[in-house]
């Protein structure tokens, strides 16, 4: 196929082949001995929005299901989940976007499972926490009932069709319909005990999201009781009032992914949710790391002067933030001194979880963690997979991985 750049200039490329595209990742993995280390990617994506035909039939409500399944002929079914303006593919510069549909997969096994295994094998990743792509915008849906239905259908498809076919290498934090706390609770009760489910994920690009609202306490309690984790997965929304004055996607992307997690983390901490549910692991996803020291310093500074506005707290806001987990990508590797400080401030050795975000444009390879000059061996093993193995009870896939997990106290499942 031809990729078209400026003024009709064409670059001819064969079809996309993930294994070939990531051949250098495989070389890196081999050189660093990654196959001997259990590597868990806590944030990878598939394009569920290209498989609506497979999961919309799981919707419960007859009328709403009919509304979205009949009368639309295209595979991608535009108009089901809102799509914010953006240029993730950089005008085709990130070639796997325009070429995605050209990649060949075998009949008889789900396409997303095959594609996932290809990039995991290339990178040396053993387990991936699979998240959707289009459904990350479900919080922008104007209809609460449709959000509930679509989450339900996606969660059923994922737990009943996709993950069971993946040889045990995918797990997920399922989509929580946060607009409806009662429905969210029902989905935790229904899906929380299923195989390959490590918890639930809240998409943070939403018009209304008050994570401290009393209505959600029963949802958090249900997750805590079941030993599940809660994750906040960030995103972008150029139409948000906060970003209307940004004129370039780079600005919206740089700020948006951090902004939503900054707001939610602030509300979570200041309202003492960590005191109320100390056994509920909280993970902040896909915002990079640079925002965390910023927020710790801001909140600690204000809390010292205004503790009366956060009376549930028994320690500083940053101490609660150090109890939480952070996914690593996109790691802002620009200034090693700043990074080292960030790692110290978040207790990275026990709280940081490697994530690739593959196949999205700003993915990180495991080598981004492994090659950091200031990390101890223990920290490298923990961040790349040991901590996640403990959190999600993931078993080693070979004897050397088992020995490494044991060495650093991370063997939680045999």
Partner 1 sequence: MPEKFVARLDEFKDGERRIVFVGDNEIGVFRHQGAFYAYSNFCLHQGGPACEGLTIAKVEERLRPDKTSMGLYFSESEMHFVCPWHGMEYDMKTGECVADRRKKLKKFQVVQKGDEVYVLA
Binding flag, residue 222, partner 1 (CB under 8 A): no
Provide the 10 A C-beta neighbour count for residue 112: 23
On the 0-12 / 13-18 / 19+ scale of CB atoms within 10 A, 36 is middle
Binding flag, residue 121, partner 1 (CB under 8 A): no
Binding flag, residue 93, partner 1 (CB under 8 A): yes
Nearest residue to 230 (alpha-carbon basis) of 299, 323, 292, 363: 323
Binding flag, residue 365, partner 1 (CB under 8 A): yes
Task: Return the range that interacts with partner 1 (CB under 8 A); candidates 73-81, 84-92, 188-196, 197-205.
Answer: 84-92
Binding flag, residue 118, partner 1 (CB under 8 A): no
Q: Which is nearer to partner 1, 107 or 334 (CB)?
A: 334
Among 1, 15, 24, 393, binds partner 1 (CB under 8 A): 24
CB of 361 to partner 1, least distance (A): 6
Q: Count residues near partner 1 (CB under 8 A).
A: 26
Among 69, 105, 190, 368, binds partner 1 (CB under 8 A): 368
Q: Which is nearer to partner 1, 7 or 195 (CB)?
A: 7
| Residue 172 β-bridge partners | 197
Nearest residue to 87 (alpha-carbon basis) of 298, 219, 236, 288: 236
Binding flag, residue 6, partner 1 (CB under 8 A): yes
Binding flag, residue 172, partner 1 (CB under 8 A): no
Rounded CA separation 283/259 (Å): 15
Q: Which is nearer to partner 1, 62 or 337 (CB)?
A: 337
Task: Return the range that interacts with partner 1 (CB under 8 A); candidates 87-95, 132-140, 182-190, 275-283.
Answer: 87-95
Instruction: Show the tokens assigned to 216.
Output: 């959600």
CB of 405 to partner 1, least distance (A): 26
CB of 48 to partner 1, least distance (A): 23
Binding flag, residue 30, partner 1 (CB under 8 A): no
Task: Return the range that interacts with partner 1 (CB under 8 A); candidates 257-265, 272-280, 289-297, 356-364.
Answer: 356-364
Ramachandran angles phi, psi of 93, nearest 5°: -60, -35
Among 25, 282, 339, 394, binds partner 1 (CB under 8 A): 25
Q: Which is nearer to partner 1, 149 or 357 (CB)?
A: 357
CA distances in angstroms from 286 to 209, 231, 260, listed in the order given? 18, 10, 11
Task: Return the range that interacts with partner 1 (CB under 8 A); candidates 91-99, 135-143, 172-180, 380-388.
Answer: 91-99
Binding flag, residue 86, partner 1 (CB under 8 A): no
Instruction: Show the tokens assigned to 327.
Output: 């996914």
Among 45, 46, 51, 96, binds partner 1 (CB under 8 A): 96
Helix (H) or strand (E) holding 197: strand 197-203
Among 159, 234, 328, 367, binds partner 1 (CB under 8 A): 367
Rounded CA separation 352/344 (Å): 11
Q: Which is nearer to partner 1, 99 or 222 (CB)?
A: 99
CA distances in angstroms from 138 to 70, 83, 176, listed in the order given? 20, 9, 10
Edge-to-edge strand list for the sheet holding 282-285: 40-45, 127-131, 170-175, 197-203, 229-233, 282-285, 325-327, 352-353
Binding flag, residue 354, partner 1 (CB under 8 A): no
Task: Return the range that interacts with partner 1 (CB under 8 A); candidates 2-10, 77-85, 124-132, 279-287.
Answer: 2-10
Binding flag, residue 403, partner 1 (CB under 8 A): no
Binding flag, residue 363, partner 1 (CB under 8 A): yes
247-275 exposure pattern, b = at least 16 Cβ within 10 A, e = fewer: eebeebbbbbbbbbbbbbbbebbbbbbbe
Torsion of CA 372, 349, 176, 73, to 10 degrees: 20
Binding flag, residue 310, partner 1 (CB under 8 A): no
Angle, vertex CA 164, rays to CA 171 and CA 191, nearest 5 = 60
H helix and E strand count, the chain: 18, 10
Rounded CA separation 231/150 (Å): 19
CB 49 within 8 A of CB 112: no
Among 67, 94, 255, 338, binds partner 1 (CB under 8 A): 94
- The contact set with partner 1 (CB under 8 A) reads 3, 5-7, 9, 11, 21, 23-25, 27-28, 90-96, 361-365, 367-368
């Amino acid at each position: 196929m031809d990729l078209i750049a400026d003024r009709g200039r064409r670059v001819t490329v064969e079809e996309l082949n993930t294994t070939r595209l990531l051949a250098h990742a495989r070389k890196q993995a081999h050189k660093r001995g990654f196959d001997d280390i259990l590597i868990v990617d806590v944030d990878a994506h598939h394009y569920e929005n290209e498989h609506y035909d497979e999961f919309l039939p799981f919707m419960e409500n007859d009328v709403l299901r009919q509304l979205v399944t009949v009368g639309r002929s295209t595979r991608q079914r535009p108009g089901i989940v809102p799509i914010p303006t953006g240029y993730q593919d950089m005008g085709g510069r990130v070639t796997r976007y325009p070429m995605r549909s050209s990649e060949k997969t075998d009949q008889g096994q789900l396409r997303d499972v095959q594609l996932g295994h290809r990039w995991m094998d290339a990178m040396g990743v053993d387990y991936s926490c699979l998240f959707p792509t289009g459904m990350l915008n479900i919080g922008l849906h104007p209809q609460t009932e449709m959000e509930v239905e679509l989450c339900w259908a996606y969660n059923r498809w994922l737990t009943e069709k996709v993950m069971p076919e993946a040889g045990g290498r995918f797990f997920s934090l399922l989509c929580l319909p946060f607009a409806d706390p009662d429905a969210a609770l029902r989905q935790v009760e229904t899906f929380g005990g299923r195989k390959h489910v490590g918890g639930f994920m809240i998409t943070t690009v939403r018009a209304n999201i008050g994570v401290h609202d009393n209505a959600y306490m029963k949802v958090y309690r249900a997750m805590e009781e079941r030993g599940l984790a809660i994750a906040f997965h960030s995103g972008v929304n150029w139409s948000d009032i906060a970003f209307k004055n940004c004129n370039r996607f780079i600005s919206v992307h740089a700020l948006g992914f951090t902004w939503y997690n900054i707001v939610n983390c602030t509300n979570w901490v200041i309202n003492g949710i960590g005191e109320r549910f100390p056994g509920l692991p909280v993970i902040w996803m896909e915002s990079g790391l640079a925002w965390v020291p910023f927020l710790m310093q801001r909140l600690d500074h204000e809390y010292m002067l205004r503790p009366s506005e956060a009376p549930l707290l028994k320690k500083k806001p940053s101490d609660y933030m150090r109890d939480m987990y952070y996914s690593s990508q996109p790691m802002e590797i620009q200034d090693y001194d700043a990074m080292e400080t960030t790692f110290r401030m978040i207790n990275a050795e026990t709280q940081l979880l490697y994530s690739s975000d593959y196949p999205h444009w700003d993915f990180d390879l495991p080598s981004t963690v492994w090659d950091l000059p200031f990390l101890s061996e223990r920290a490298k093993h923990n961040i790349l997979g040991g901590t996640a193995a403990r959190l999600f009870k993931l078993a080693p896939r070979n004897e050397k991985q088992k020995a490494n997990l044991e060495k650093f106290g991370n063997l939680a499942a045999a």
